[in-house]
Each structure stands twice: as C-alpha cells, then as structure tokens.
Amino acid sequence: MARTDKDALDYGAELKKLRQEGPARVYILRGDEDYLRDSFLSELKKLCLPEGTEAFNYHRLQGPNLDMAALLESAEAMPFMGEHTLTEVRDFDVNRTTAYDPEALRDFLLDVPDWATVAFVFSPGYSPDSRLAAVKAMKKAGADLCFTSPGEAALVRWVIRRMEDLDKTIDPHTASYLLWVCGDRMNALIPEIVKIAGYAKEKAVTRSDIDAVAKKAPETTIFNLTDALGAGEYDKAARLLADLLADKDEPPQKQLAMVSEQFRRLYVARVAADSGQGAAYITACVPELSGRSYPLQLLQRACKKFPAARLARAVDLCVRCDYAMKDTGGEPEALMKELLARLALDRA
C-alpha cells in the first residue's frame, strides 16, 4: 500500500522515544528512506555504545543467510566497559526460510538478553513478509520501523537548512521545485544540493540554478514526457524518452510502470476536473500526492491537455506494452519506442 502522511512514521517521535526510554531489544529497520534509517541507527549506536566501547560491544552480521550460532554468540556476550551490546544484522533474507533456522530464530527472539539490542537492517525495496512466523516474532519482540519520505513540508525545511549550511538561501517554493526535479530521496538529494549550491553565483538559489546542473529524477522526466505528448510536442517527447532509456539505473520495465502510473494519475486528475471535484478526490485515489502541493498543482494543470478518453486509452496502451514485455519476449527498449509512437498517434 502506498504511503500517506497519516500513516507515515513520525521520525522525531521515534527519536524522542529512543532517547527517553532507551534502546529496545529488537528493531526492524526498513523502508525506502535509507537516510532516516541510517540516522536512526546512528543514534541507536550512540546510546548502546558509548565512546570507546564499540570495539568490544558492537557486532555485525551480513546476509543474506543468518548464522544462528553467530547471532546467539554476539547477543549473549556480556557487555565490556558499558551497559549494552548492539548486534547489527544487515540484509538478512528473512523471507527465504532456507536462509536460516526459523524455529531457532523464534526461540532466540523470545529470550533476548536484557543488555542486548539486535537491529535487523533491510535495504530499500525489501519488505519482510508479515505472514511468516519468524517475521511475526521479530515484530512482537521489538519495534518495526518503516522509514519513508517525511513529506514535502518537512523536506522543504530540511533543504533550506542544508542550503544554509552551505552559505546559501532558498525560498520554500524553489525548494519544492528542487524536490520535484530531483525526487524526495534524501541521500540522493544531498549531492544535488551540494552541486546546486556550488553552481549558484548568488547567495539565493534560483530555479535556473537547479535546471542548469541538477540530475532529474526519472519521475520528473516522465512527467515532462507525458506533458510534451499532451502539448503535441512529439519531438520533445522522443528526446525525453531517449534520455529515460539512457538511464541504466532503471530498467525499461520499471520505466514503463512509472509511465503507466503517470497516465493513471493524469486520468484521475482529469476525472476530478470534469466532475467538479478537487484535490481531495485526487489524493484519495493517489495517496502519494497527499501533502505534496507542488506536484499536485502541476498534475491538475497537465491533465487539462488531454481528454479523459485519451488518457484511458493511454493507460490501456501501457498495459498492452507491459504484456508484450513479459509474455512475448519483445526487446524492452523497442517496445517503449513503439509505445511512444502509439501514444503520439492517438490524438483524438
């Protein structure tokens, strides 16, 4: 299910709880926002491992397999020159039950020593299967923290602070634009902020500075691509598709999924406009846009370039392209180019 502001993790509250109540015995640290995940883990280390004790009381196990003997040994080892130990288990594939002994893990989680904290740290995109008995035991034994984007308002304040640290200023509207151009992953934003601040000639960062040097997120390129189609700028759309396909960080299959999602969002926004409904209807259908005023406003403007029927056909064309990629063995990049041609030809 997509993240909404209502069910997003309150990072500040979790940090306050950690400092007031001390470390729990077990943590599941997961989610797409690895900057916040690593920041929380850093705070956890500070509490568990006072200066000078890390060499004695910190243990790290690396997945995908889990060596239960090593986990037991690290957790049961008494702390030296401190009160706590911390065992960090990285990228353990808990969903693959052949990678560990599920029964032994459940038994261990029932009786973690008072002095020990075990943090299971998962990479972005990995989600422990809550149906598994071992995952249920992990969640019951401690805290399950899923780190997601803190939302536009919090990110805007964070961008402003980062710019101030670099002796630059940026107004909230321009900061929102930066988030739209570069995406909302904080670790990815940090080098872009440094790059933009270094490029800007004046103290105040402008949209022109961002446009000049920032690396555009795939979602931004896709928005511009669909917008060019709506405006009848087919050469521009072709150039943007070429840029998208040149980005080898994202496979064509994922790029297609993002194109399909963008047309779905445009269709929702167009239906909302045609039926006299506003932003609340759109965010109910697209929870990812909740609390993100800038991309929501762009979507509401962009949808007016397409009739609803054309957007519905665009979604159908994307589905057919996805089927061709998966079931016919067609070359993905060629299929993406064919999709663009079909979208451009459908002008009714």
Domain positions in the chain are 11-146, 152-213, 218-345
pLDDT of residue 2: 40
List Cα–Cα distances, 64 to 115, 200, 248, in angstroms.
26, 44, 25
What is the third-level CATH fold of 11-146?
A: Rossmann fold (3.40.50)
pLDDT of residue 4: 42
- pLDDT band of 296, cuts 50, 70, 90: very high
Read off the pLDDT of residues 63-86 as tens digits, 9 standing for 90 and up.
999 999 999 999 999 999 989 999
Instruction: For residue 120, list its beta bridge partners.
Output: 28, 89
pLDDT of residue 1: 33
Q: Do 93 and 65 meet the contact criterion of CB atoms below 8 Å apart?
A: yes
The 58-62 sheet, strands edge to edge = 58-62, 85-90, 116-121, 26-30, 143-146
- Residue type (1 letter), 311: L
Q: Which CATH number is associated with domain 218-345?
A: 1.20.272.10
In this prediction, what percent of the chain has a pLDDT beyond 90? 86
Are 11-146 and 218-345 in the same CATH fold? no
Residue 114 sits at φ, ψ, to 5 deg, of: -60, -35
pLDDT of residue 3: 43
Q: Report how far residue 332's alpha carbon sits from residue 16's, in angstroms, rounded to the nearest whole number.
A: 48
- Give burial (CB, 10 Å; 0-12/13-18/19+) of 245: middle
In this prediction, what percent of the chain has a pLDDT beyond 70? 98
C-alpha dihedral, 251 to 325 to 288 to 6, nearest 10°: -100
Q: Do 197 and 166 meet the contact criterion of CB atoms below 8 Å apart?
A: yes
Tell me the whole-structure pTM to 2 decimals: 0.82
Read off the pLDDT of residues 204-235 as tens digits, 9 standing for 90 and up.
999 999 999 999 999 999 999 999 999 999 99
Q: In the predicted model, what is the mean pLDDT of residues 279-284?
A: 94
Q: What is the torsional sign of CA 98, 99, 102, 107? A: positive
Asked whether residue 6 carries a pLDDT value surpassing 50, the answer given is no
Asked whether residue 321 carries a pLDDT value surpassing 80, the answer given is yes
Read off the pLDDT of residues 155-210 as tens digits, 9 standing for 90 and up.
999 999 999 999 999 999 999 999 999 999 999 999 999 999 999 999 999 999 99
- pLDDT band of 94, cuts 50, 70, 90: very high
Q: Do 89 and 99 meet the contact criterion of CB atoms below 8 Å apart?
A: no
Read off the pLDDT of residues 237-265 as tens digits, 9 standing for 90 and up.
999 999 999 988 889 999 999 999 999 99
- Residue type (1 letter), 16: K
Q: Which CATH number is associated with domain 152-213?
A: 1.10.8.60
* Tokens, residue 319: 């589905």
pLDDT of residue 274: 96
- pLDDT band of 288, cuts 50, 70, 90: confident
CA angle, residues 146, 255, 292, in degrees to nearest 5? 50
pLDDT of residue 7: 57
pLDDT of residue 348: 67
Asked whether residue 151 carries a pLDDT value surpassing 80, the answer given is yes
